[in-house]
Chains A and B, each alone.
Chain A
Amino acid sequence: MLTETTREARILAGGQSLMPMLNLRLARPELLIDINAADQREPAIEGGMLRLPALTRHRVLLEHHLVREHCPLLAEAIRHVGNVRVRNRGTIGGSLAHADPTSEIGCCALATGAQVVARGPAGERIVPASELFAGYWTTTLDPAEIITDVLIPAARPRPGWSFQEMVRRTSDFAIVAVGAIFNVAERTRDHASATVALAGVADRVVLADPELVDDDPDQTAARIAGSLDPPDDVHASGAYRRRLARVLVARALREASARAAAL
């Protein structure tokens, strides 16, 4: 349908981002394609990957035993997404395709090294989350492509992890959010393997440069915050966001490392 129409078309998944944009007249597509009935698959583990069908609702991410076991970072981050009604309808694929720069889910996708399966007229391809986001509410996907699955490496041995977020009201968009994964297996004497992703600090969710990460949480946080140039908006100034990034990254690294040590 996306290739057959000449009209502006949007795909409607859970609708918890697109429907407010329609109600506020921020988006006025001529055609909505409702995919909610297209897929009833459940989360599964396949070849060392947690496979989440794109229409997996946030509620399922929060409660499903496979997500809690293999991607606890995501299960925790989902607590910060919307309210109970939003989580009942919102989907992981829709959220990633919406590409909000403050997205908790986008942040977790980067931190965990997730990939999306994108299907278009030319067939299927795998897009790493690190190559998915192009800017404010924009992905690198072709307009005729659709996300069908999200693949997250099922961590083994289980790494330490932490999700930190600052908001003015619970359930609101993040001012700054940080997801960190601390991998015990890859840890060497002088270099802790930690992956840090941030939301709310740029025109998209971002992955911190691995070169900036070492064993010292405060130094690492200062280097990462120094590498950012967050925009000002009505919710917070760029300087405040950079300060938050520094505080939250340090907290995230401490908590992730403590969790890794406890395992």
Chain B
Amino acid sequence: MSKRQITLTVNGRDHEVWIVPSDSLLDVLHDELGMADVRYGCGEGVCGTCTVLLDDEPVNGCLTLAVQAAGHRVTTLRGLMGPGETMHPLQECFLRRGASQCGFCTPGMILTALDLVRRSARQGRGRPSRDEIRYALVGNLCRCTGYTKILDAIEEYADR
């Protein structure tokens, strides 16, 4: 297949990349743009490690084609960080609570949890319950922590 050039807007910055139409968004972000915070886990949309925000909605990078993201805003974990890569408050909660061990799942966990907290607030439902957090994270697998500390960290952030 022949390559074509598209512009991807990632974390507020435009990147011109040459891609083939079958490239997934994950392939391009990770392999072409070297973004290590978007990760290949399962390739089936089940594990959550390739989570990115597409126009502020979490999606699976492995199940979205890069061409479909052209003209939209893509946000990875790094896009949440402040100037000089200062940590997002939810990242600080993860650190404080020991909610990250090997760290492979952490970007997907944080992007998915942040969407839940923001959405609950926007829809006037207040702080999500522990069960709601659990339900929102069913598609984010962690093989280290046993999830309890992740739930603690998200609750701490939601309580701020």
Contacts and interface: CB of A to CB of B under 8 A. Distances in A.
B62 interface: yes
A40 B64 CA distance: 19
Interface string A1-41: 00000000000100110011011100000001010100000
B136 A89 contact: no
A89 B139 contact: no
B139 A34 contact: no
Contacts of B59: 85, 88-89
A24 B43 CA distance: 8
Contact of B115 (A36, A84, A171): A84
A170 B138 contact: yes
A59 B119 CA distance: 12
Interface size class of B (residues with CB under 8 A): 20 to 34
Contacts of B95: none
A83 B63 contact: no
Nearest to B60: A85
Q: How large is the interface on A (under 10, 10 to 19, 20 to 34, 35 or more residues)?
A: 20 to 34
A20 B63 contact: yes
Contact of A84 (B21, B58, B67, B68): B58
A23 B44 contact: yes
Contacts of B65: 12, 15, 19, 32, 34
Contacts of A16: 45, 60, 63
Contacts of B44: 20, 23-24
A85 B138 contact: no
Contacts of B51: 85
Interface string A77-93: 00100111110110000
Contacts of B58: 84-85, 88
B43 A84 contact: no
Interface of A: 12, 15-16, 19-20, 22-24, 32, 34, 36, 59, 79, 82-86, 88-89, 169-171
28 contacts: A12-B65, A16-B60, A16-B63, A19-B62, A19-B63, A20-B44, A20-B63, A23-B44, A59-B57, A82-B139, A83-B46, A83-B48, A83-B138, A83-B140, A84-B58, A84-B136, A84-B139, A85-B45, A85-B51, A85-B59, A85-B112, A85-B139, A86-B60, A86-B139, A88-B54, A88-B57, A89-B63, A170-B135
Given A32-B21, A88-B58, 11 more contacts: A16-B45, A16-B63, A23-B44, A24-B43, A83-B139, A84-B112, A84-B115, A85-B58, A86-B139, A88-B57, A170-B135
